[in-house]
Amino acid sequence: MTDASINASTVQEGDAEFGDYFALLKPRVMSLVVFTALVGLLAAPVGVHPVIGFSAILFIAIGGGASGALNMWWDADIDQVMKRTKSRPIPAGKVEPGEALSLGLALSGLSVIMLALATNVFAGAFLAFTIFFYVVIYTMWLKRATPQNIVIGGAAGAFPPVIGWIAATGSMAVEPWLMFALTFMWTPPHFWALALFMRSDYDDAGVPMLTVTHGRRSTRKHILIYTALLALLAVGTAFSGVGGPIYLVVALVLNALFLHGAWKISRRDEEDSEADNFKVERSFFKLSLLYLFLHFGAILAEAVLKPYGLGGW
């Protein structure tokens, strides 16, 4: 084998594959975007043609993926430092930063234009605003500037059900903003629980997460406060246009469990956490993943059953 053939094979082995480009779109985050947008679309009080509905969700998903690619392009420097993110395509050397930027910009433009054409201009404009908020307001500014990064920046992840509702109706209403508020208030305790047992990552990367700037003791208190406010909001949503008896039962059970978990976190000290490798915090984080999915699943169940007289009040 010649030197030229060895070099050629090495370059080929290092070339990015489809999976690497797909990973740029943050598929796990995209799945949440798709699901909450779908719930917003189906919970709207109007019928949507299946083709239009599918197109709307597809382009919202592409817009969410575009945001993820642009986020990875900008955050490549800190992703390389953090254990949780160092295997992402750019820090792993599988995708060039310029490729991620080009992909993110191209998909952003495609998703916004096609959503506007498939549904309405208002929905397209709101998707454009969401991408801008996540990439510029959160990623480029808030994330590295303030410990309130995840609080304010959480709005970006909370917009999809509003976009779904607008895609269906072309207008605003109170109900999609209740779904927005549910995700918005859920985001801080969800990420702060993660930060409690991943604090060294944020320390090393210089990201001013609350655990870094105010310490774990303060973070534990913040988790409890936000969880209590979230519980009030979540249970209250049961009596809105997207709520009903199914949602109420789900909300009561989940928020009782979530509050109990937050209370246990608030009562722990660092010695307890270190001794069991943050068992309680990790358990709370896992519950938080199920928490949002089941709340939106209950809203979806109410919407699907309502035409048959089985959902809603």
- Nearest-angstrom CA–CA distance, 108 and 127: 9
Token reading at 83: 């254990």
- Nearest-angstrom CA–CA distance, 268 and 211: 15
Q: Which residue, 22, 26, 17, is CA-closest to 94?
A: 17
* pLDDT value at residue 8: 36
Instruction: List pLDDT tens digits, range 99-120.
Output: 999 999 999 999 999 999 999 9
* pLDDT value at residue 194: 93
* pLDDT value at residue 310: 85
Residues 6 or more apart in contact with residue 248 via CB below 8 angstroms: 235, 238, 239
Instruction: Kindly state the average pLDDT of the residues 6-23.
Output: 63
Q: How confident is the model at residue 262 (pLDDT cuts 50, 70, 90)?
A: very high
Instruction: List pLDDT tens digits, range 204-239.
Output: 788 889 988 999 899 999 999 999 999 999 999 999
Residues of the chain above pLDDT 90, percent: 78
Residue 200 predicted with pLDDT over 80? no
Query: pLDDT: is 237 or 18 the higher one?
Result: 237
Q: Which residue, 312, 286, 313, 290, is CA-closest to 300?
A: 312
Owner of token pair 């060039």: 96
Residue 6 predicted with pLDDT over 60? no
Contacts 24+ apart (CB under 8 A), 77-82: 78/205, 78/206, 78/207, 81/201, 81/204, 81/205, 82/201, 82/202, 82/204, 82/205
The model's pTM is 0.90
Instruction: Kindly state the average pLDDT of the residues 66-72.
Output: 97
Instruction: List pLDDT tens digits, range 278-312.
Output: 999 999 999 999 999 999 999 999 999 998 888 88
Residue 4 predicted with pLDDT over 80? no
Could you count the other beta carbons within 10 Å of the beta carbon of residue 171? 12
C-alpha pair distances (Å), 252 with each of 88, 129, 288, 291: 38, 34, 15, 11
Residues of the chain above pLDDT 70, percent: 95
Q: How confident is the model at residue 14 (pLDDT cuts 50, 70, 90)?
A: low
Residue 174 predicted with pLDDT over 90? yes
Q: How confident is the model at residue 79 (pLDDT cuts 50, 70, 90)?
A: very high
- 223, 189 Cβ separation under 8 angstroms: yes
Token reading at 51: 């083709």
Instruction: Kindly state the average pLDDT of the residues 144-156.
Output: 89
